[in-house]
Amino acid sequence: VKDALGRVQAVLVLGGGSDIARATLHRLLDDGPLTAILAAREPERLETEDLTARGATVACVAFDAAEPATHAGVIESAFANGDVDVVLVAFGVLGSQTELEADPDALVELVRTNVVGGYSALAHSVARLRTQGHGTVVLLSSIAGRRARRSNYAYGSTKAAVDELAQGIQLSLAGESVRLIIVRPGFVHSKMTEGLRPAPFATTPADVAEAIVRSLRENVSVVWVPPVLRAVSAVLRMLPTRALQRL
Side-by-side strand order, sheet with 178-185: 57-62, 35-40, 10-14, 86-89, 135-140, 178-185, 222-225
The residues that bridge with 185 in the sheet, in sequence order, are 225
Q: Is 135 a binder of ligand NAP (CB under 6 A)? A: no
Q: Is 70 a binder of ligand NAP (CB under 6 A)? A: no
Of all residues in this chain, which one has the CB nearest to ligand NAP in the complex? 92
Helix (H, G, I), strand (E, B) or coil at 39: strand
Dump the DSSP string for 221-239.
SEEEESTTHHHHHHHHHHS
Bridge pairing between strands 86-89 and 10-14: parallel
- The distance of closest approach from Cβ of residue 23 to ligand NAP in the complex, given in angstroms and rounded to an integer, is 8
DSSP label of 201: T
Write the interaction track for ligand NAP spanning residues 22-61; mark x where CB under 6 A is met and - where it is not: ------------------xxx-------------------
Residue 226: asked if its preceding bond is cis (omega within 30°), the reply is: yes
- The distance of closest approach from Cβ of residue 90 to ligand NAP in the complex, given in angstroms and rounded to an integer, is 5
Q: Kindly tell me which residue out of 66, 206, 222, 232 binds ligand NAP, with binding defined by CB under 6 A.
A: 66
Q: Kindly tell me which residue out of 140, 211, 213, 216 binds ligand NAP, with binding defined by CB under 6 A.
A: 140
Q: Kindly tell me which residue out of 70, 77, 97, 193 binds ligand NAP, with binding defined by CB under 6 A.
A: 193
Q: Kindly tell me which residue out of 35, 136, 142, 152 binds ligand NAP, with binding defined by CB under 6 A.
A: 142
Task: Mark whether 153 is an active-site residue.
Answer: no
Using the minimum distance from each CB to ligand NAP, give the nearer residue, 113 or 170. Answer: 113
Please tell me which residue in 155, 184, 224, 225 is annotated as part of the active site.
155
- Kindly tell me the sign of the dihedral angle through the C-alpha atoms of 69, 93, 234, 224: positive
Residues 146 to 175 in contact with ligand NAP, rule: CB under 6 A: none
| CA dihedral of 27, 34, 22, 24, whole degrees rounded to 10 | -40
**Which stretches of the chain bind ligand NAP, using CB under 6 A?**
15, 17-20, 40-42, 63-66, 90-93, 113, 140, 142, 185, 187-188, 190-193
